[in-house]
Structure 1
């Protein structure tokens, strides 16, 4: 049984530590189209891994975070993310927290609805939409995307109308001509955006450039629908180039541009602890030549000494930043939430951090 009481106390302590850190370190850096200023930890929990925090503003002005979390002591090598994960719901009075645990929003059901992970939430067309991934019996090749919708944030979620009975909205394609027909790990890591009157569900697959290739490449495609709740149909070609692998893309749009904010998976434009900002005029092609470096690793913002006594549960001690998720204010990106496998708080696993974000 997960100790959610410890999440509250540990989260409060995290806020104090974050405030002290943000006062002692400038934590400001510019990259690409945006400037980022480090604020502090968003969520950490004693005895738990926290991986990613997706924000949405509630009608009362409070910020709600949907968080992937699982116990630190049940599985080796960080593998609990696809074995024991659940989606927790946290609430804070403002974007910078502190955030307190409210309830489990989506439980791990094991079996064919195993380990709900990598949640992303948005409010679109007056509905809250929560997308995430599950697998079957801890087998990564079975990953698929689920879409829930709700009228409020009480976690009374229901499967999207165009989804399967359990909410499954997208599986890897069964059409041999589609880009991810040969996807090695199913389909995962969704991000939903409304653009030009249609609904674009971006998704990742690991595909080989050719049958002789030893390893697949991490690339993104998109499935499109005329309705928010689907059904969604795969666009036949991938939308990002195979030579610039990416992970954890978060989609957002302006009047004439779709953006993907992603992890730079293999360090195409710097270290793989940072991220990339992709741009597209139509949502179907993100040209690598127009892509810019976005954020850097955690060490870049907080300084190496502050992490020297930390523990790296995943990645290196410099703190790879992953799972970018954005909170908007007045229709503009305002706060960025990122996950890292490094934590300096004894007893707490991986955690998430919050940055102020503004256009340059």
Structure 2
């Protein structure tokens, strides 16, 4: 049974399932969900806890023996499996066997990274999912971060002023763990139950973390302020110009191919699905970016996209030392152009 992470607490108040799978790429949320399961299991009398780390070379027989053996002290047991690799044939058999031979005296808690569609279609996963609860953890996108912050504060009966919320979200964007830490600090320092702009300004450091995919998404959406902020963040973090260029060039090639296919009266959804397979990209992620890709195509003609591809090639020559120029300066020009900045923003007003 699939369950949203924010529904876990209410579920645990009603029942304890024999299996919990918590998987995702947001470590803080994964950790907090696992803590909720552990706490509820302990309250229910599962006083023994065994932890297994399934990595390369892991002996699945050790887990199988523990799952099938009786407790020395006749206690209820929580088995925790940190799944850092694919189970393989042997592991799949162990997990599937457990799902088909459940015991009221044991709970299996599996903590793993994001499970893709190929993993969730396997027999072992389907057996465990049918027997228990699957909690997929999705990254908290920038658009949802303010709501996440508000809910976290409200859980402790705190409020935050709108301007303070905006600044806090900007400073911790892309770093949920830092966001949680800053919230705890603000709760201690706040005068009363409302956090204002002064409290955030005096307390919160700039903990925003970005990657080139954040920049790519902002470019396609045409969010110019976000593009500038993320671009500067990447440069400050020491990301190579070649990596930033790779992401931009990839999107330009994608837009060029999609635009040409659309010119042949193809439907955007079908075109993106075909592109995902031909460009070895995730169909799920391609579908998720459909709207932003459509926005970028609406802003640019096939001719302008081709011109930007030429510019990307020239920047590549600068990066490789074949052509003279400032690669970061040229990259920022390309970023702003692709994001739809018209007329061009004077680079003297853009901090590097």
TM-score band (shorter)? under 0.3
The answer to which structure, 1 or 2, has the higher relative contact order (CA under 8 A, 6+ apart) is 1
User: Counting strand residues as a fraction of each chain, which structure ranks higher?
Assistant: 1
TM-score, structure 2 normalization: 0.24
- TM-score norm. by structure 1 comes to 0.24
